[in-house]
Amino acid sequence: MRKNDTEEGLLWSQFKKGDRQSFSLIYQQNIAALINYGLKICDDTTILRDTIQDLFVDLWNSRLNLSDVDSIKFYLFKALRFKLIRTGKRKVVSGDLSAFLLKKENNTDASIEDKIIIEEGWAFLSKTLQKAVACLTLRQREAIVLRFYHGFTHEQIAELMQLSYQSVSNLLYIAIERMRDILKAPLLMQEQTR
């Protein structure tokens, strides 16, 4: 068992016993990821924030009846998705991947010209990737976000999306192939202009 797994298990256990600091820490560690994930499946930020608030209220109120979890983040994602589907507020939205792509370390040794070229390259790649993601179906988009942005396993995605493992594998494969085809043309064109 990894150290993080042990710490997460202890945090969950303390929360279940009514420790408000543990509950607060669970909230603080997961709120940004929940909002980010929620925005991928719900385009109404007011409803999303209310649903997340309800999720944490329900979590606190039912803490004595909760079982142990392998991953707090996965549990919260699954609960949020279920709540949004149950309220009928699950909608297709286009994700902003540029913020994710542009989170990179600054190279202090690079010249200003190199940095400008790098930034332009990232901006181009970001726009192209956003266009490719926008061409995916809702399920493909959701699977891509869960796998590559949040790092969930195929098994976790299957459970979260209520699909078989094979369906998730197929969904990801088809989505990646579709994105690869879409991304090939603009990247080749940019290479030819250099």
Select the CATH number that applies to the domain covering 98-193 from these four: 3.40.605.10, 1.10.10.10, 1.10.287.990, 3.40.710.10. 1.10.10.10
Distance CA 130, CA 162 (A): 26
Min mean pLDDT across 48-62, 72-86, 96-110, 162-176 is at 96-110
Q: What is the mean pLDDT of the chain?
A: 78
In terms of Cα–Cα distance, which of 113, 30, 43 is closest to 72?
30
Distance CA 178, CA 183 (A): 9
SS3 assignment, position 87:
coil
Structural domain boundaries in the chain: 3-86, 98-193
pLDDT band at 160 (very low <50, low <70, confident <90, very high): very high
pLDDT of residue 121: 62
Q: Higher model confidence: residue 166 or residue 107?
A: 166
pLDDT at 109 over 60: no
The Cβ of residue 180 has, within 10 Å, a number of other Cβ atoms equal to: 10
Q: Higher model confidence: residue 9 or residue 98?
A: 9
Q: Is 52 exposed, middle or buried (0-12, 13-18, 19+ CB in 10 A)?
A: buried
Q: Higher model confidence: residue 106 or residue 22?
A: 22
Distance CA 48, CA 60 (A): 18
pLDDT of residue 162: 92
Q: What is the pTM of this model?
A: 0.57
pLDDT band at 8 (very low <50, low <70, confident <90, very high): confident
Q: Is 34 exposed, middle or buried (0-12, 13-18, 19+ CB in 10 A)?
A: buried
Select the CATH number that applies to the domain covering 3-86 from these four: 2.40.380, 1.10.260, 3.30.70, 1.10.1740. 1.10.1740
Q: Higher model confidence: residue 43 or residue 118?
A: 43
SS3 assignment, position 109:
coil
pLDDT at 114 over 80: no
Give the relative orientation of helices 45-61 and 20-41 as an angle to the nearest 10 degrees: 150
SS3 assignment, position 108:
coil
Distance CA 139, CA 167 (A): 11
Helices (H) and strands (E) in the chain, counts: 9, 0
Distance CA 149, CA 40 (A): 11
pLDDT at 139 over 70: yes
Mean pLDDT of 26-34: 92
pLDDT at 95 over 50: no
Distance CA 160, CA 143 (A): 10
